[in-house]
Amino acid sequence: MMRAVDAIMECLRAEGVDVVFGYPGGANLPTYDAMYDSGIRHILVRHEAGGGHAAEGYAKASGKVGVCFATSGPGATNIVTPLTDAMMDSVPVVFFTGQVRTDLLGTDGFQEADTFGITMPIVKHSFMIQHPLEIPRVVHEAFHIARTGRPGPVLIDMPTDLTRVEIDYQPVGEVRLPGYQPTTEGNQKQIRLAAKAIANARRPVIYAGGGVINAGASSELTELALEDRLPVTCTLMGLGAFPAPHEQWLGMLGMHGTRTANYAMDEADLIVAVGARFDDRITGKLSEFAPRAKFIHIDIDPAEISKNVPAHIPIVGDAKNILGRLLTEYRGLAPEPARLAEWWERIEQWRAQHPLRYEDSTDTEIKPQYLVQALYEATAGDCILATDIGQHQMWAAQYFHFTKPRRWIQSGGLGTMGFGLPAAMGAAVAQPDLQTVVLSGDASIQMNMQEMSTLATYGIPVKVVIMNNGFLGMVRQWQELFWDGRYSAVEMNEWPDFVKLAEAMGCHGVRLTDKTTLVDDLRAALALDGPVVIDARVTREESVYPMIGPGQAARDMVG
């Protein structure tokens, strides 16, 4: 016999959980009491949203399931954003929320919120504990659902009285969920058909998304591409799935992707979409997206097939499984590489005509693009890079390069400002041997900057680089381009003083303003022990280009 909460700890250990990000409160006191001698590391965040994003960052960097604890009521409502974020980006995280006693449910008790109801549309699945005996089984089901199929967040809401009860704990063997049987094996006939289509394509493009990284299929993807010099582009979420820079690498596609990638999509006769979901930031105007192309769509989620763009050859299943078998089939066809010569000529032309470019300053001013390039140089690209949302994120996607998966930590679908710092913290905890850097903006960082003290408290050596332009940069850019330059509520000005703030939070604070010494200054700052906050002052009004305007087509790219 043991308390249900102690059984939860047994289950967490059985699931291989080594760290929990969380915040205690009244309704999850029993859980925290069990945590006390569970042997599982706990990181006390400063806000539950930070805990949720940290668990996401941990999951993204490690491929394991992240875990976040929060209490009832405000604790639970504070994790709504990370939950939605994890849902949008298919991140495996299990959230445990405390809930008021069962006799208080539905009475507006102190710190009561209908967590189960509020979160229903933003979870892969959720459980409301009805009986203490079901707790161990539910915990294992939650982990199973979070990590398998298309990964996603699972929430377990636990009325506090039920968690204190002594139960006869029996380790749970296999999880049985009759209503949950994700398809992992791709259909062989479809795979064969896809191989033939690629072998017959004259202007193919591989378009890879975050699903490739979730599936651990980067090497299979790369092998397929290299087999026959197939051009590759990735979504924001897919960066790192294919090693860049590389001569077959077209750059990122979409709104702020390269012209080469977007023009290639526009003229392609066959697009091989793998673990990507044809988001509106990729397609632009849907009716003019890749108008000449047929589509092979490989995805673990059948609901993604033909959702936005009708698929000609849909293959539902695990990308690693499918790409491996696709490669075998493709090799068997012995395709003629010369058929792609003309296509590559065309691509090389675009590449030569439209490299990513910006006008560098003539004095010491740091251009934001140069800040990213300098960071790439200072780290030799050998780090985990998380970002927040906005201009800095797009420039990082353009000018930083990733040779490996799980090194680029992003909030792609939801676009959550405030994601970067806590997510980087989670990534750093997951991969202590790698350097972890978060590139943020002066606006984004302020949405969860309280986690700087968490870094200091636990000595988590995340390096925070703030691309400080004094504006909500991306909104400012849109107001400049599409709203006649009427800057409405986008100026952040110069507060706070991030160096002083960093010091107050127990971190090193460094201010950088001179481009001529930037790489060395960054190196020195990155080499400081412990967490460091680098306030890099950049050009105030710089815009991200090239750009497909909202609702425009790829060939109408500007800049």
Partner 1 sequence: MGDPGTKELLSLEDLEAASGVRTGRKHVLSILVENKPGVLTRIAGLFARRGFNIDTLVVGPTDDDALSRITLTVDGAMHPIDQVTKQLHKLVNVLKIRDLEPDEAVAREMALFKISADAGSRGEIMQVVEIFRAKIIDVQRRTVIVEVTGTHDKVEAFERMVRPFGMVEMARTGEIALSRGRGET
| Choice from 1, 37, 39, 121 touching partner 1 (CB under 8 A) | 121
Closer of 134 and 227 to partner 1 (Cβ): 134
Stretch of residues binding partner 1 (CB under 8 A), selected from 159-167, 177-185, 530-538, 541-549: 177-185
For the chain, the straight-line distance linking the first and the last C-alpha, in angstroms and rounded, comes to 68
Q: Does 341 bind partner 1 (CB under 8 A)?
A: no
Site mask for partner 1 (CB under 8 A), range 67-106, x = bound? ----------------------------------------
Could you check whether the bond before residue 245 is cis, i.e. omega within 30 degrees of 0? yes
Q: Which of 39, 178, 432, 485 binds partner 1 (CB under 8 A)?
A: 178
Is there binding between residue 427 and partner 1 (CB under 8 A)?
no
Of 302, 324, 506, 549, the residue at the interface with partner 1 (CB under 8 A) is 302
- Which range binds partner 1 by CB under 8 A, 98-106, 172-180, 453-461, 465-473? 172-180
Could you tell me the smallest distance in angstroms from the CB atom of residue 309 to partner 1?
A: 8
Binding range to partner 1, per CB under 8 A, among 176-184, 381-389, 466-474, 522-530: 176-184
Residue from the set 101, 246, 312, 346 that interacts with partner 1 by CB under 8 A: 312
- Output 126 or 440, the one with its CB closest to partner 1: 126
Q: For residue 467, list its beta bridge partners.
A: 441, 536
**116 forms part of the interface with partner 1 (CB under 8 A):** yes
**Residue 498 to residue 173: CA distance in whole angstroms:** 51
Contact at 8 Å (CB) between 399 and 368?
A: no
517 near partner 1, judged by CB under 8 A: no
User: Quick one: which segment of 26-34, 295-303, 372-380, 468-476 binds partner 1 (CB under 8 A)?
Assistant: 295-303
Least distance to partner 1 from the beta carbon of 85, Å?
17
Does residue 208 sit in helix, strand or coil? Answer: strand
Cβ atoms < 10 Å from Cβ of 508: 18
Two structure tokens written together for 433: 């041997």
Residue 286, interface with partner 1 (CB under 8 A)? no
Contact characters 144-163, partner 1, x per CB under 8 A? -x------------------
Contact status: 460 vs partner 1 (CB under 8 A): no
174 contacts partner 1 (rule: CB under 8 A): no
Secondary element (H or E) of residue 346: helix 341-353
Q: In terms of CB distance, is 198 or 532 closer to partner 1?
A: 198
User: Measuring CA to CA, which residue among 465, 247, 473 is closest to residue 376?
Assistant: 465
Query: What is the distance between the alpha carbons of residues 136 and 171, in angstroms, rounded to a whole number?
Result: 8
Read off φ and ψ for residue 522, nearest 5 degrees: -65, -45
Select the residue interacting with partner 1 from 291, 310, 551, 559 (CB under 8 A).
310
Q: Which is nearer to partner 1, 134 or 161 (CB)?
A: 134
Is there binding between residue 322 and partner 1 (CB under 8 A)? Answer: no
| Cβ proximity to partner 1, 87 vs 389, nearer residue | 87
Contact 498, 505 (CB under 8 A): no
Site membership for partner 1, residue 285 (CB under 8 A): no
- 135 binds partner 1 per the rule CB under 8 A: no
Contact, 339 vs 333, CB < 8 A? Answer: no
CA distances from 495 to 454, 471, 491, 492, 506 (A): 22, 11, 11, 7, 19
Closest CA relative to residue 96, chosen from 120, 121, 115: 115
Strand order in the sheet with 408-409: 408-409, 384-387, 436-441, 463-468, 532-537, 508-512
Q: Is the bond leading into 496 cis (omega within 30 degrees of zero)?
A: yes
Among 295, 330, 370, 400, binds partner 1 (CB under 8 A): 295
Question: Per the omega criterion (within 30 degrees of 0), is the bond before 151 cis?
Answer: no
DSSP string, 131-190: -GGGHHHHHHHHHHHHHSSS---EEEEEEHHHHHSEE----------TT-----SPPHHH
Q: Which of 94, 212, 234, 270 binds partner 1 (CB under 8 A)?
A: 270
Q: Which is nearer to partner 1, 139 or 375 (CB)?
A: 139
Number of residues that bind partner 1 (CB under 8 A): 39
Would you count residue 130 as binding partner 1 (CB under 8 A)? yes
Among 140, 294, 354, 404, binds partner 1 (CB under 8 A): 294
C-alpha dihedral, 48 to 90 to 381 to 58, nearest 10° = 40
Of 62, 111, 219, 306, which one interacts with partner 1 (CB under 8 A)?
A: 306
C-alpha distance from residue 142 to each of 10, 32, 345 (Å): 15, 20, 50
Judged by CB under 8 A, the stretch of 105-113, 174-182, 273-281, 388-396 that binds partner 1 is 174-182
DSSP letter (8 states) at residue 90: T
Q: Which residue, among 140, 177, 131, has the nearest Cα to 158 in the 3D structure?
A: 131
- Phi, then psi, of 475 in degrees rounded to 5: -65, -40
How near is the Cβ of 310 to partner 1 at its closest, in Å?
3
**CB closer to partner 1 out of 58 and 116:** 116
Binding to partner 1 in span 190-229, by CB under 8 A: 190, 192-193, 196-197, 199-201
Nearest residue to 20 (alpha-carbon basis) of 71, 70, 84, 61: 70
Q: How far is the CB of 248 from partner 1 (least distance, A)?
A: 21
Contact between 311 and partner 1 per CB under 8 A = yes
What whole-number distance in Å separates Cα of residue 217 and Cα of residue 211? 8
By beta-carbon proximity to partner 1, the closer residue of 115 and 468 is: 115
Three-class DSSP category at 488: coil
Q: Is 487 in the site for partner 1 (CB under 8 A)?
A: no
Residues that bind partner 1 (CB under 8 A): 116-117, 120-121, 124-126, 128, 130, 145, 177-180, 189-190, 192-193, 196-197, 199-201, 269-270, 294-295, 301-303, 305-307, 309-313, 333
